[in-house]
């Protein structure tokens, strides 16, 4: 997926989201039983602390993504970043975070990722990653605990900032 394609997808999401929000305003409960939301967030890349610090991995993972919050517990996400293996990666998935404690939601994200040379030769693969999210007004943070998988994927704790574009 090129930058132009990603930009076009983000623009389409921005244009369609107000219509989706208006259409869903009549119902107050989402499909997962939590309060319905209609929020679009712009997400940064990641800052990653790797568990295997002796591997000379890239901990600065700049990128851009979008997150569309469907409800208190669920959101769709997609984006692109420069990964720990110093390659470009894309992702698309869904957060489900049914647990909440003092304003922090806990759960995971399930999605597809690509760009890791030792995992399916850089092709797409599925992953489930534990996550925590905190949001305050127009700013938020996602924290993911990425597991190490053999010598193919290097685990760590990744932090991602995000900014609410509209509600």
Please state, in angstroms and as integers, the Cα–Cα distance from residue 119 to each residue in 46, 60, 153, 164, following that order.
Answer: 20, 20, 7, 33
Phi/psi region, residue 32 (left: phi>0; alpha: psi -120 to 50; beta: rest), is alpha
Task: Share the mean pLDDT of the chain.
Answer: 89
pLDDT (average), residues 119-134: 96
- For the chain, the straight-line distance linking the first and the last C-alpha, in angstroms and rounded, comes to 28
CA distance 48 to 156: 6
Give the pTM: 0.81
Model confidence at 50: pLDDT above 70: yes
What pLDDT, in 10s, does the model give residues 60-73?
999 999 999 999 99
Contacts for 60 with CB less than 8 Å, ≥ 6 apart: 45, 47, 48, 82
CA distance 50 to 55: 9
Q: Give all domains of the chain, ordered by start, each with its CATH number.
A: 3-26+33-166 (2.40.160.20)
């Amino acid at each position: 997926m090129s930058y132009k394609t990603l930009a076009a997808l983000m623009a389409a999401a921005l244009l369609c989201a107000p219509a989706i929000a208006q259409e869903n305003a009549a119902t107050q409960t989402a499909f997962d039983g939590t309060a319905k939301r209609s929020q679009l967030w712009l997400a940064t890349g990641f800052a990653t602390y790797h568990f295997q610090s002796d591997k000379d991995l890239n901990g600065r993972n700049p990128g851009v993504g979008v997150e569309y919050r469907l409800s208190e517990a669920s959101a769709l996400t997609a984006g692109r970043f420069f990964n720990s293996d110093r390659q470009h990666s894309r992702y698309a998935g869904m957060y489900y975070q049914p647990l909440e404690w003092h304003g922090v939601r806990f759960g995971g994200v399930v999605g597809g990722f690509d760009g890791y040379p030792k995992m399916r030769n850089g092709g797409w693969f599925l992953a489930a990653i534990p996550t925590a999210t905190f949001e305050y007004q127009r700013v938020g943070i996602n924290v993911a605990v990425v597991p190490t998988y053999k010598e193919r994927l290097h685990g760590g704790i990744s932090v991602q900032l995000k900014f609410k574009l509209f509600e």
